[in-house]
Structure 1
Amino acid sequence: MELEKPVSGEGASVGRGEAEGCLVVAIRIPVRIVVVLLVVPVRVVWDGLVVVGRVVRDVVLRPVGRGLGWLGKVMVVWPVVALWRWVLVPVGKGLGWLGRVVVVWPVVALWRWVVVPVGRGVAWVWEKGVVPVGRGVMWVLRGIGAGAGWLTRCLVVVPAVWLYAWVLVPVGRGIVALAEWGWLGLYWAGRVLVVLPVVALWRWVLVPVGRVLGVVAREVWDALGHAWRIAGWVSLAVWRFLAGVFRTLVVAPVAWVYRTVLTPVGHVVRDALLRPAAEAVRSVGRVTRQVLASARETVRQTRADLRRALFGAPREREAVAGREPGGRAARTLEKRSGAAEVSPPTRG
């Protein structure tokens, strides 16, 4: 039972190599070398095209597609919806009403008041006049048919049956026998001349050639898989190297220039120019607001003086006595409670 178990790991590969034979091994190594040399440039170019395609998709195609979608909505969808809602639907409703008035109602009236009465009259005439006449004609035709059937039986059917039983059946049996013998001869001739050569060609030529081609195709496919994975590693290393070169030659100098030159210059410009300028603008704004406030106050005071000079000082409003007395006479909750506690003496 242990000998029947499948072998795994290295034992399986060794067993497979021994089962495949030296021809498969001799085909495998050159094919894999050639395929690796052919696939590595293709994989490198393919990875580069994938990166470029993603950048083009994210930077160009998606914004352009969104813009075209919005433009199509504005130029096509909204005009079509407006045309449908405000032109075609009202026109369709009007045409529907006009069709009902001009076509449907006259046709219904014609059917109800003309066609139906005429049809009922025609049906009554048919039932009372045509049907009895048709029944008489059918009775006459049945009699004629019975006589014609008897004559046909005597003159046609009986001779035809005799001819079939005594002439056609024997002749047909002879033809079938000849056909069976001819078919048997053709079968053996086709078997000897066609089938046996084809079977021999298939068994001794096509099957071995197909097996060899299958081994070659399988090895080419396996070699393509291995080469594609190896090419992926090579492509990753190449693009990482190019990225490192780009980072070293472009990104690092630009970052250094930005960090050591542009950032200090920007700080100097901000501290020496932008902040004083902003503070000056804020000071000017504050002064302007104060000047405008004082000007508004002056205008308001001047207008009040003119009104007082022309119309006199306004009268002071008299204070209106409220419900509650003010000052000492105002009633509070404390005073009410004190008055309740000190009550006048009762007469005794």
Structure 2
Amino acid sequence: MELQKQPSESPAPSEAAVRPAHGERQPPPGGGCLVVAVRIPVRIVMLVLVLPVRMVWDALVVGARFLNGTVLRPVGRALLWLGRAVFVWPFVGLWRYVVVPVAKGLAWLAKVCVGIPAVWLYRWVLTPLGHGCAWVYARVLTPAGHAVVWVLRGVGAGLAAVGRAVYAVLGVLARYLVVVPAMWLHTWVLTPVGRALAWCGRGLAWCVRMAVTGVGVALYWVGRVLFVLPAAGVWRWVLVPVGRVLAAVGREAGAALGHAWRVAGHLSLAVGRALGTLLRWIFVEPVRWAYRSVLTPVGHAVRDAVLRPVAEAARGAGRAVRQALGSARATARQARADVRRMLFGEPAPVRAVDRREPSAAEGRTLGGSTTALTKD
């Protein structure tokens, strides 16, 4: 028998209890008592500071939208139309009715004064002259050039033979006077001296490297003891805790700023709706009641008592005027016909033309044909 009661497992929190509210950022876990102590005062201070700013911002947004819809857009459209009327349309008219015709006239004048004479000069002067120059080049200059090339080729062949002989002599002299002594000097003098200098340089470089390495190790440990270890201690035991505290304060300040901005938005929305409702009941509803109860009956009475009789009278007058104009046109037409009849006589009667088509009274029968090809 168990003397101690086993601790019952605490029920796991539900997902709805853990999930943060809509629009609210979940605080990072492991904040500790410092975060809890800082969060509420910071949120209260942020709400007090942000609420006026948010209300002013919302008022400016509403005013800007109203100003844009009622003033700026109509003024912008009017300025756009005025700019087109002042700047675009005059230039379009100038281009269409002045520049284009003048350019076409100048193009025609240039064609008549420059193009046609240039074509005539090319066809009847430059082309025959070019043909003559080509004939001279082909019949005179080309044979003379071939002769000169043949002479120069013979002279060049002689000079080349002389040059090859001189080059061979100079090559032999340079080999035995320059190359052979230089190779002997390089093999028996410069190579041993260079090897000795290289061995001495390697030994000197090894000594310098060892000295620099020892000095570097000493400076490393001096710098580590004097600078690195104290800096690491300050970083680990001073700056990191202070940075964590400042990061927690800054994180909570940012979260409080966002929370205060959202709460201020809800408060500003409520204030705006209240003001909108107040303005509606003070101005809009009285105006609507006056329009429905006063202006609409008065308008209907004016329409029925004044506008409709006036419109009927205007339509009757219009019909009378149209009838009078029709009668006048008919009278004038009859007068013109009488004048033509007195001056030129009766017009010749129009003779009917037989189109060889069956009349409507005649029907198509088996013994008779009514087509144009088989009709008698």
If the length of structure 2 is used for normalisation, what is the TM-score? 0.62
What pairs up with 1:271-290 in 2 under 5 angstroms?
Answer: 271-290=304-323
Counterpart check, 1:29 vs 2:21: no
Taking the aligned partners of 1:223 and 1:29, their CA distance within structure 2 comes to: 8
RMSD of aligned residue pairs (Cα, Å): 4.8
Instruction: Give the counterpart of 2:236 among 203, 221, 233.
Output: 203
AA aligned to 2:230 is P
Q: What residue in structure 1 maps to residue 3 of structure 2?
A: none
Given the superposition, is the C-alpha separation of residues 64 and 146 from structure 1 closer, same or farther in structure 2, using an over 3 Å criterion? farther
Following superposition, the deviation at residue 282 of structure 1 comes to 1.1
Residue in structure 2 matching 1:217, options 234, 242, 250: 250
What's the counterpart of residue 264 of structure 2? 231
Post-superposition Cα deviations, 1:19-62, rounded to whole Å, max 9, x if no partner, equal 43322211111100000111112222222333334445555259
Contact 1:32–1:220 at 8 Å: present in 2 too?
Answer: yes
**Cα distance, 1:164 vs. partner?**
2.6
Distance change in 2, residues 1:219/1:318 (3 Å): closer
> More helix per residue: 1 or 2?
1
In structure 1, stretches of 5+ residues that fail to align are 102-108, 338-348
Give the secondary-structure state (helix, strand or coil) at the position aligned to 1:333: coil
Matched AA of 1:28: R
Among 181, 189, 199, the alignment partner of 1:147 is 181
Map of 1:163 onto structure 2: 197
Amino acid in structure 1 at the alignment position of 2:44: I
One-letter identity of the residue aligned with 1:26: A
Q: Deviation at 1:313?
A: 4.9
Match of 1:257 among 290, 300, 304: 290
Runs of 5+ in structure 2 lacking a partner?
1-8, 21-26, 112-117, 123-133, 135-140, 369-376
Q: How many residues align?
A: 298
Query: Structure 1's 317 and 64: CA in aligned 2 closer, same or farther, altered over 3 A?
Result: closer
The answer as to whether partners of 1:43 and 1:232 remain within 8 angstroms in 2 is yes
After TM superposition, give the deviation of residue 229 of structure 1 in Å.
1.3
Map of 1:243 onto structure 2: 276
Amino acid aligned to 2:40? I
Deviation per residue, 1:255-310 (Å, 9 max, x gap): 22222232222222222222222222211111111111111222233333444445
CA contact (8 A) 1:17 1:25 kept: no
Report what 1:67 is aligned to: 80
Question: Are residues 306 and 252 of structure 1, via their aligned partners in 2, closer, same or farther at CA, if it must alter by over 3 Å?
Answer: same
Distance 1:309 1:73, change over 3 A: closer
More divergent stretch after superposition (132-141 vs 232-241): 132-141
* Secondary structure of 1:296's aligned partner: helix
Q: Percent identity?
A: 42
* Segment of structure 1 superposing worse, 56-65 or 30-39: 56-65
* 1:52 corresponds to 2:63: yes
Pairing of 1:311-322 with structure 2 (within 5 A): 312-313=345-346
Change in Cα spacing, 1:203 to 1:318, as seen in structure 2 (3 Å) is closer
Q: In structure 1, which of residues 295, 298, 303 is the aligned counterpart of residue 331 of structure 2?
A: 298
Matched residue, 1:104: none
TM-score by length of 1: 0.67
